[in-house]
Chains A and B, each alone.
Chain A
């Protein structure tokens, strides 16, 4: 085999490198399906570019629709990896080892997908560079005071940090794979392992860098979602102009991030047959964390809505009413059910908590958190302060297709990642033996 990874007798390597070689029927089907769905999304985007942004359902006053909902949702999902991995690394949680790389990869892919949405939303993506601060003769200088420019700097910083944070602990594994590969894999691993020899200088530099990166990436991750929250909170719009929005968004991002991590772990465990490494204890621990975040999310939601109701501000009450008992009420109560009631029922009791119930809760939380983003954006835009400007938003097939294709894109990226790189760090596992 020209491009094989030669697996030696070491059982740990055999198990963790096995997914790199061979393609199962399930994998091939998933890859084809994800590719086709992703391609359909790209075709829809192409259609929108040709026909104009009018093919989307966004109309005055609801100028932010599905695209911005997806932007906030995917940026939230990106908190799965780096933030969770950094917390677990800094607290030296021993059970983190099979979880961290899976999580870090989610961050990079989710950020790539999330960062696409402002560009898709532009309608004319060919002029996306107008977002970048550069001097030009038409005085189209971006406003540094705008939270949208804050987003740009925050996301660029977070994406670069996350890529480095994913790449650094990959290097030792790539160097080992380099020794056991042939063909294009050998060339790939040789290029990416940048001459790693496994000397103590390199290990120490790696450990130092990872510790510092974990600290910095935590600060950046919190800032990124706070800035996304400020996109809304800086506007004096009903139910947006709130001091609680920053921490509310960060908590929600961690919440949805953990849910995404659990779903990916459940799929990878089955698909790559890693049951011996991604164990029930990992689901149990992350399930507890998910439950904790569910309680925190509920606390924030009650706090946000109760103060609005008590204040009885007419502009805010019209949005509040639409969400609680109006047109958006079905979505609101589904969100509460998915984000609080179901996780409470399935995760609060140790005897009920299992891989299956934790995964069901995680899927429900993902649905609930997407609805939460929808409910933050749409009711407010549909009910601005001027009652006469009230509008209605309904997504078109183009927006729905592009939204669905992003989930396919995430699947596609992850399937390719699993075939190129070990999803669990081999050296971190072996580290225990040399202590």
Chain B
């Protein structure tokens, strides 16, 4: 099940997250919802990312694919080059460059979809109704940990606490 608490400021949210983590709730079970980015203290709720790694790898892959594509087609579909080599690096480097950047850009977009969780939305999880200047903190927990979580929320200064979802 999910417990959702509403807060009016970032400091209270940070205090609640700290208390939840001290009680053994992992960062994976905690979500913060807001209508604008919330800047929490560093290390409090870090989300590891492989966006850069994947973007660079994808860029390199697209560069290799572009090279193979140009090389293959120039060899297979020969054009008259006036005695110059069929394949040459200099004039085709622009094409490799653009393909490389395209690989990086498209991978960044895909990784955004993956890391934001937009591709694996759970229908069981209720979507929060957000209000301006309010921050919601949601934690997934077993029924036996509910009271501990509520205590963390109320001590940190939650305006409102709600339960939702199937207890199983």
Q: Binding site of A, secondary structure by majority: helix, strand, loop or mixed?
A: helix
Report yes or no: A153 in contact with B95, Cβ–Cβ below 8 A. Answer: yes
Interface 9-mer from A30-38, A138-146, A266-274: A138-146
Q: Shortest Cβ distance from B30 into chain A, in angstroms?
A: 9
The one of A197, A216, A427 in contact with B104, judged by C-beta atoms closer than 8 angstroms, is A216
Give the residues in chain A near B111, CB-CB below 8 Å.
205, 209
Contact in complex: A223, B35 (CB < 8 Å): no
A201-B115, A212-B51, A216-B105 given; A154·B35 CB < 8 A = no
Determine whether B91 belongs to the interface, using a CB cutoff of 8 Å to chain A.
yes
User: A433 at interface (Cβ–Cβ under 8 A)?
Assistant: yes
Complex CA distance for A248 and B147, rounded to whole angstroms: 67
Chain A residues, CB < 8 A from B118: 194-196, 202
The B105-159 residues at the A interface (CB cut-off 8 A) are 105-106, 108-109, 111-113, 115-118, 121, 127-130, 132-133, 135
For residue B127, which residues in chain A have a CB less than 8 angstroms away from its CB? 195, 197
Q: How far is the CA of A220 from the CA of B99 in the complex (A)?
A: 10
The answer for the CA separation of A201 and B117 in the assembled complex, in Å, is: 7
A225 to B130, CA, bound (A): 43
Q: Knowing A149-B95, A200-B32 touch, does A431 contact B132 (C-beta < 8 A)?
A: no
Give Cα A430–Cα B95 distance, bound, in whole angstroms: 41
CB closest chain-A residue, reference B76: A135
Residues of B close to A202: CB separation below 8 A: 116-118
Nearest B residue to A207 via CB reads B37
Q: How far is the CA of A317 from the CA of B112 in the complex (A)?
A: 54
Report the Cα distance A103→B139, complex, angstroms: 39
Query: A133 at the A/B interface (Cβ < 8 Å)?
Result: yes
Q: Is B3 an interface residue (CB 8 A)?
A: no
Known: A200-B40, A212-B108, A433-B36. A205 touches B115 (CB 8 A): yes
Kindly provide the distance from the CB of A241 to the nearest chain B CB, expressed in whole angstroms. 16
Q: Which of B40, B74, B117, B118 has the most CB of A within 10 A?
A: B118
Chain A residues within 8 Å of B79, by CB: 139, 141, 143
* Interface contact A206-B116, CB-CB below 8 Å: yes
- Chain A residues, CB < 8 A from B161: none
Pick from A164, A172, A212, A434: contact of B39, CB below 8 A. A434
A227 contacts which chain B residues (CB < 8 A)? Answer: 94
Is B61 at the interface (CB under 8 A from chain A)?
no
Number of A-B contacts (CB under 8 A): 164
Q: How far is the CA of A427 from the CA of B38 in the complex (A)?
A: 11
When the two chains form their complex, are residues A144 and B101 in contact, meaning their CB atoms are under 8 A apart?
Answer: no
Min CB–CB distance A138 → chain B (angstroms): 11
Interface string of B71-99 (1 = CB under 8 A from A): 00110110100000000100110110111
Q: A144-B70, A198-B35 are in contact. Are A153 and B105 (CB under 8 A)?
A: no
Contact of B128 among A154, A176, A197, A427 (CB under 8 A): A197
- Quote the shortest CB–CB distance from B53 to chain A (angstroms): 11
- Docked CA distance A44–B101 (Å): 37
By beta carbon, the residue of chain B nearest A428 is: B36
- CB–CB B31/A200 < 8 A: yes
- A208 CB contacts on chain B under 8 angstroms: 49, 51, 112, 115
Question: A223 and B37 in contact (CB under 8 A), knowing A201-B47, A212-B52?
Answer: no
Q: Does A157 contact B (CB under 8 A)?
A: yes
Q: Please, which residues of chain B bring their CB within 8 A of the CB of A172?
A: 35-36
Instruction: Tell me if B37 and A431 are in contact (CB < 8 A).
Output: yes
Residues 184-214 (chain A) with a chain B CB within 8 angstroms: 194-209, 212-213
**Quick one: which of A13, A197, A213 contacts B132, CB cutoff 8 A?**
A13
Q: A161-B105, A200-B38 are in contact. Are A168 and B112 (CB under 8 A)?
A: yes
Residues of A within 8 A of B1 (CB): none
Closest chain A residue, CB of each to CB of B45: A200
Knowing that A150-B94, A430-B133 touch, tell me 6 more A-B residue pairs with CB under 8 angstroms: A179-B129, A195-B121, A198-B34, A200-B45, A205-B115, A220-B105
30 A-B residue pairings within 8 Å (CB atoms): A144-B74, A149-B95, A150-B95, A154-B94, A156-B102, A161-B102, A172-B35, A194-B113, A195-B121, A197-B33, A198-B35, A199-B116, A203-B37, A204-B49, A208-B112, A208-B115, A209-B51, A209-B112, A212-B51, A212-B52, A213-B105, A213-B108, A216-B55, A216-B101, A217-B105, A223-B94, A223-B98, A427-B35, A430-B36, A434-B39
- B residues within 8 Å of A by Cβ? 10, 31-40, 45, 47, 49, 51-52, 55, 70, 73-74, 76-77, 79, 88, 91-92, 94-95, 97-99, 101-102, 104-106, 108-109, 111-113, 115-118, 121, 127-130, 132-133, 135
